[in-house]
């Protein structure tokens, strides 16, 4: 079940909200846990036991690490081994066997393993919980019910953001649902839904159409590359907006996961803005334990490279994701050692440099077939007998120009800055509040209308 579906919007969510707000405080977490398990069961009925096992196992080891301090280190090692062992089996074992066969010319049977939805996200949340208990940053959950509610919480269960226990531990026990917070949640959810349905899905159609051109052109490749980048951004940031909005409806405050990454002025800045919960997880649990920047420049560069190889691999069991991670690792090392002063001195050039490199990165991200990836990158840079443009290319550019322009503007903080200025004037501020409600209603109505007619509606990050 995806958030941008008729089933979720008009059946699941209203029923869960009704049950949640009709019951007393002591039963609210029970409603959330049952609803979350039902949400997961709807999409992955046979793998619900994997999630339940993760809840029970990590709760138990959290308690053991906290109470048996003399055995805390071996207990943590066992916990991490089992968590990442499950992740490896479900997500990477088939990929591993394929590459062993290729490397050693063997004929080992490649198992057909279906990956449980969201296993990367709830595994990272579970391990951050036990590591934080080990480092005495947090206390263990009071009971299994509370911890299971945290790990299985449906707004962020299958595609993030990665919510750490320390962020919501207080709210799991004591949170306050207010009308204003609920209204904020509806608004944020609506914005996310519109991003997903009105922008990401339409951009996905453009990507598919340009991929089927009978005569590709250089311009078509660049339009498709920009559309791929914008589609990924609005798909994932839209999901994060909906997750944050749903959290507010139930009294939770999840941290932001995106901060207008496409206006970044460097690749370093980009990763401070894109998928913040993932990059901060790798920083705190991999980069810093490896030594971070405390052991000299060479060691720092090695640490950066290791982190980004792992970051790429986290996204999927495919070589394009590994190359994607290496690509960013190399760029970050180059920025640290050579480009920092230049980028700071030339802001316009820095933005252009960053945007082009981001576009190239998401082309690598998009194509898991390396032959197709090579053809696409060659086409972008005019390698081969390609025309710059064609009537077919211009037709699609004109047909989707409005969506592309709106998407590019929506990827910047221009609207947010405009609203901030309006808020400075009390009379306009009241009008803004009215217009805001009208806007949310129109976006919701338009999104639902699109959903009724639409067949293309996947969440791209569900595969991670």
Which of 258, 208, 230 lies closest to 408, judged by CA? 230
Cα gap 428→422, rounded to integer Å: 6
Q: Is 315 a catalytic residue?
A: yes
Write down the catalytic residue from 27, 253, 275, 315: 315
Cα gap 426→432, rounded to integer Å: 10
Positions marked active-site: 315
């Amino acid at each position: 079940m995806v958030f941008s579906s008729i089933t979720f919007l008009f059946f699941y969510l209203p029923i869960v909200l009704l049950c949640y707000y009709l019951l007393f405080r002591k039963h609210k977490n029970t409603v959330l846990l049952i609803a979350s398990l039902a949400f997961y069961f709807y999409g992955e009925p046979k793998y619900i036991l994997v999630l339940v096992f993760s809840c029970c196992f990590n709760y138990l080891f959290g308690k053991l690490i906290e109470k048996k301090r003399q055995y805390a280190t071996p207990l943590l090692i066992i916990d991490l081994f089992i968590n990442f062992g499950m992740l490896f089996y479900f997500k990477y074992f088939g990929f591993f066997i394929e590459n062993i066969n290729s490397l050693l010319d063997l004929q080992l049977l490649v198992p057909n393993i279906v990956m449980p939805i969201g296993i990367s996200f709830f595994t990272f949340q579970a391990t951050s919980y036990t590591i934080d208990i080990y480092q005495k940053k947090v206390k263990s959950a009071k009971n299994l019910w509370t911890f299971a509610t945290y790990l299985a919480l449906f707004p962020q269960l299958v595609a993030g953001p990665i919510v750490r226990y320390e962020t919501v531990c207080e709210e799991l026990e004591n949170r306050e649902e207010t009308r204003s917070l609920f209204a904020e949640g509806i608004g944020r959810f609506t914005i996310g839904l519109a991003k997903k349905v009105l922008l990401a899905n339409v951009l996905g159609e453009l990507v598919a159409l340009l991929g089927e051109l009978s005569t590709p052109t250089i311009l078509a490749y660049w339009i498709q590359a920009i559309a791929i980048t914008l589609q990924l951004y609005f798909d994932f940031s839209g999901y994060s907006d909906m997750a944050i909005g749903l959290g507010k409806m139930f009294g939770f405050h999840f941290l932001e996961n995106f901060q207008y990454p496409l206006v970044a002025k460097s690749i370093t800045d980009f990763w401070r803005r894109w998928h913040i919960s993932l990059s901060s997880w790798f920083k705190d649990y991999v980069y810093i334990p490896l030594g971070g920047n405390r052991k000299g420049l060479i060691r720092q560069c090695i640490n950066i490279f290791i982190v980004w190889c792992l970051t790429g691999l986290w996204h999927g069991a495919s070589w394009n994701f590994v190359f994607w991670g290496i690509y960013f690792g190399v760029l970050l090392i180059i920025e640290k050692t050579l480009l920092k002063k230049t980028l700071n001195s030339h802001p316009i050039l820095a933005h252009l440099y960053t945007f082009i490199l981001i576009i190239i990165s998401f082309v690598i991200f998009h194509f898991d077939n390396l032959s197709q990836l090579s053809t696409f990158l060659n086409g972008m840079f005019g390698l081969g007998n390609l025309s710059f443009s064609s009537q077919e290319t211009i037709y699609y550019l004109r047909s989707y120009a409005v969506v592309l322009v709106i998407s590019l503007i929506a990827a910047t903080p221009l609207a947010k800055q405009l609203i901030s200025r309006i808020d400075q004037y009390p009379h306009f501020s009241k009008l803004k509040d009215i217009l805001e409600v009208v806007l949310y209603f129109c976006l919701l109505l338009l999104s639902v209308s699109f959903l009724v007619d639409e067949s293309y509606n996947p969440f791209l990050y569900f595969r991670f």
